[in-house]
Structure 1
């Protein structure tokens, strides 16, 4: 039985090694996306100055956004927008973003491109493509197979799961639970 578990463990790990590396790398980057977000990069920027309406509520409307988009000859199609604190951020199709200070009317339009390889890797974490969701579920099952077969590979000696491994596994489970309790 030990030899079969070792083979299953090894073969499933080999099959998913590329995805394990991609998910691990992009997951680390996404954890720090406030500091560094390399999914795409700005290849062109344009400063803009906008006359703002006296009624600040009018800023939060698609009509207002579409009007100034036409004035600036933004060829891209409007996608969505949000207002946080004093900033209006407008998202357009074709990876164009406008950041506008709604107190001064000053802003910047950024034309972006996806960063080769790194951008696609990060996309794996964010996509909701139906096929990818199923594939990710199968990947999760594969990770469970790797975990469970890894627990029973060593059956003799002082480093077995039964003697030593369960303590490390328990510590590995308790640590994230403590973090969730403290910071949720």
Structure 2
């Protein structure tokens, strides 16, 4: 029986590719999101609104019922957590899930900040940020497997499109571009 290293190479490449499809998508999406962190918040959608309200009659900033009346006027559905007065004439109301309402009691202007998790991106970024020891191990195995995928991928094709032809030129170009960015950014 002859040892067929090309067949074993294809099997390893194929099976690792199938097994880590989910991880490749997770890290691909979160990588794109994190690359553009200066352009947008990849984890949260933050909506800011300004609304003119009228304070309830006999308003008392220390009375929770008065503060809840403000939230009702603002049309905020999130649960009240707490509130305080950071300075005279200002009230900051904290809501569940990080949202808040800041009210200028002199002008009746309420600044409403509603925070929601960005669908899909929040979850993939959560995993990208490495939430625990088991995930660390799985991610390390994935990283090692990516190197195996890269190496086995070099030897999938034979001939002019393989590593001795076009594949060599493309591999060299990819390596040189990576080195160029290292030189530029370091």
**TM-score over 0.5 (shorter chain):** yes
Normalization by structure 1: what TM-score? 0.62
Which residue number corresponds to residue 170 of structure 2?
Answer: 168
Which residue number corresponds to residue 151 of structure 2?
Answer: 148
Which residue number corresponds to residue 86 of structure 2?
Answer: 68
Alpha-carbon distance in structure 1 between the residues aligned to 2:98 and 2:10: 46
Normalization by structure 2: what TM-score? 0.62
Deviation of 1:19 after TM superposition, in Å, equals 1.5
Alpha-carbon distance in structure 1 between the residues aligned to 2:110 and 2:177: 44
Query: What residue ranges of structure 2 are gaps of 5+ in the alignment?
Result: 52-83, 103-108
Which residue number corresponds to residue 29 of structure 1?
Answer: 33
Deviation of 1:72 after TM superposition, in Å, equals 3.4
Once superposed, what is the RMSD of the aligned Cα atoms? Answer: 3.2
Alpha-carbon distance in structure 1 between the residues aligned to 2:168 and 2:121: 36
Paired positions, count: 142
Which residue number corresponds to residue 134 of structure 1?
Answer: 137
Alpha-carbon distance in structure 2 between the residues aligned to 1:2 and 1:150: 11
Deviation of 1:74 after TM superposition, in Å, equals 4.2
Which residue number corresponds to residue 120 of structure 1?
Answer: 123
Q: What's the secondary structure of 1:41's corresponding residue? A: strand
Is 2:11 the counterpart of 1:7?
Answer: yes
Per-residue CA distance 1:103-127 (angstroms, 9 max, x = gap): xxx9956342212322111222223
Query: What residue ranges of structure 1 are gaps of 5+ in the alignment?
Result: 48-65, 77-92, 100-105
Going from structure 1 to structure 2, the CA distance change for 1:37 and 1:75 (only over 3 Å counts) comes to: closer
